[in-house]
Structure 1
Amino acid sequence: MAALVLILGIATSAGAQNADVTPGATGPGSVVRETHGAWQLSCRVPPGAREEKCALVQSVTADDRPNVGLTVVFYKAIGEDKKLLRVVVPLGVLLPTGLGLKIDGEDVGNAPFLKCGKRGCVAEVVLQDEVIAKLKAGQNAMFIVFDTPEAGIGIPVSLQGFSEAFAGLK
């Protein structure tokens, strides 16, 4: 799973580490502009910004553990041509193992958690074009968190509508 770190790249700037768990396009005042399959395109004008920002959002729970869920958010960095993936998981997950990702059963790798807050723990990465292409072509993603070193919990995320929704990011 270490390949995810290399393939996606890690967003470890001070801004990413100090950011709230919700990027500018989500949170209070956000409006769902469109729904594409399992994805919502959520938009708002972030504090201090002049333009509306949008993010793709999907919240899911583990099939066999309804108390373990996560929120997946794709968005573009403000003022940069970077596309980011932020995943918020519940408090209590094992942090050293990071967050794993598989797309249609193919191991993409893992990413470290950057911080934990009241709403959960955050993993965030800069997406490379190769991974975006896999997400657009894929049917299902599986995010993996651990509650013990031996016990991984796979949380399925539908990629239905992802390609269309991703085109709406601004």
Structure 2
Amino acid sequence: MPQGVSLQIDALPAKTYAFLFCTQAGCVSQLGLTTDEIAAMKKGQKITMTIVPVAAPDAPVVLTISLKGFTAGYDEVNKANGN
């Protein structure tokens, strides 16, 4: 896996994002989600995020993120933004 971040919603294929740039504080990636991916997140249980550090590419960091409450939060943000 190249250095960067990958997101996997439940058992769907993972999508990988390269680092745009890095500073001493850390690295930045820009993630774009499609309407299909947002729909999958609304129906899903978890996201698995894998971060491959620039300084330690052989030691990926894997995070499991619950999607419980995602739909309510997403809808509330859209409502607050007038959507």
Going from structure 1 to structure 2, the CA distance change for 1:151 and 1:117 (only over 3 Å counts) comes to closer
Amino acid at match of 2:50: I
| Residue 104 (structure 1) aligns with | 10
Question: CA offset at residue 119 of structure 1?
Answer: 4.1
Equivalent residues in 2 for 1:70-149 (5 A)? 96-117=2-23, 119-147=25-53, 148-149=56-57
- Secondary structure, aligned partner of 2:14: strand
Amino acid at match of 2:39: A
For 2:24 and 2:76, the matched residues in 1 are separated by: 30
Amino acid at match of 1:155: L
Q: Which one has a larger percent helix, Structure 1 or Structure 2?
A: 2
Q: RMSD of aligned C-alpha atoms?
A: 2.1
Q: Which one has a larger percent strand, Structure 1 or Structure 2?
A: 1
Provide the identity percentage.
Answer: 32
Structure 1 gap ranges (5+): 2-95
For 1:118 and 1:168, the matched residues in 2 are separated by: 35
Aligned length: 76
| Residue 68 (structure 1) aligns with | none
* Deviation digits for residues 21-41 of structure 1 (CA, Å, limit 9, x no counterpart): xxxxxxxxxxxxxxxxxxxxx
Question: CA offset at residue 121 of structure 1?
Answer: 1.6
Amino acid at match of 1:105: A
TM-score when normalising by structure 2:
0.74
| Residue 72 (structure 2) aligns with | 164
Structure 2 gap ranges (5+): none
* Deviation digits for residues 64-90 of structure 1 (CA, Å, limit 9, x no counterpart): xxxxxxxxxxxxxxxxxxxxxxxxxxx
